[in-house]
Amino acid sequence: MTSLALLLIGFSLFSALALALSHFRTTNYAGHPTARVMGLLLLAALSGLQLAHFAWLHLNLPWVDGMAYRILLFSVAPAFFIFSEPLLTPAADQPKPVFLFCHLTPTLIAPFLPATVALPLAFVVGALYLLWLARRIYRLRSERSQYHQEIILLGLVFLIAIGVATLGLFQHVLTEKRFFSLYASAIGLAFLLVQITLGLRPQLVTQISESAQLIQTSYSNSTLGNVDCNAALARLASLMQTEHLYADQELSLANLAQRLELSSHQLSELINAQLGKGFSRYLREQRSAAARHMLCAEPSASVLSVGLSVGFSSQSNFYEAFREIEGMTPGQYRKLHLQRGTTA
């Protein structure tokens, strides 16, 4: 068990570094800087826990008994909440940062709790936050075409969290090293699930955030009262068709809204209410449409160069978006349409 735990600790640390460098880039969290920062802090907290586990399991250093370990332990669930809440909340209902950071209160009281109380309490708090996450994702079920896949993933993570919480409540029946071996292994398995999911669906975070925007298409307090929606949509189409703004990898909702002389909330509502989709989906469709033309018009160009030319930041993002919209990979699309002698 200890050997497996050490292996998964190593995987966790490598995975945390890879996620920080590849997934938590500014472009992946455009409009959600708080979520990005808290995501990085969450990785740091989990890495700190795993380093403490390594010190205890391999070097016999009692880092798991220190105050720093308890602080990290209590910071994981609130950090995950502060990371998730902006992504799962419509733009018009975004919580204020002060409200979000109130959830760090458990971290502040952690140093004053004895270890025998801190460990089980931290795991119970984590399980409660995960129940909150399950409830929020359930609210998005009508907007998520891949809802069942995501709920299976969430169920696996939830089972891991419940198992760890149970271990925390009954840790007295296990030796210390056995308990921390199991906890370290659980963190490693959670990292593995995250890596598999993001490998299959690198734009999952963006799509979930987009779904949260779509649940508020009615906009009870509309921001478009003084906006000529038809004229704004015409200007939007012109910017995409004549200036090819979609090709800018750094294009954000705020940047595009500024070009249209609208606020970010107004543009978000305009696209959601008038076009029935979120900004990210709209942008993926514009880029995929341009890619369709280039794939057939420039048969000697590599698929990757086409994806980068139309604004996708990586091959994985290009492939996922194109498959989502066209139902096939870019290479399959090119082969099929060239065989038909078209340049659709």
In this prediction, residue 97 carries a pLDDT of 65
**Would you say 289 and 310 are in contact if contact means Cβ atoms under 8 Å apart?**
no
pLDDT of residue 22: 83
Give the model's pLDDT for residue 344: 46
> What does the pLDDT profile of the chain (344 residues) look like in tens digits?
789 999 999 999 999 999 998 888 877 776 678 888 889 999 999 999 999 999 999 999 989 888 899 899 888 888 888 888 777 766 555 566 666 677 878 788 888 888 777 777 887 787 777 777 777 766 665 555 554 555 566 567 667 766 766 666 666 666 778 888 988 998 898 888 888 777 766 666 666 666 666 555 444 566 677 878 889 899 999 999 989 999 998 888 888 888 988 887 788 888 887 887 878 888 999 999 999 999 988 888 899 999 999 998 888 888 888 988 888 899 899 888 877 765 44
Show contacts of 279-283: CB within 8 Å, 24+ apart. Answer: 279/210, 279/213, 279/253, 280/203, 280/206, 280/207, 280/209, 280/210, 281/207, 281/210, 283/246, 283/251, 283/311
CATH architecture of the domain formed by 281-344: Orthogonal Bundle (1.10)
pLDDT at res. 135: 74
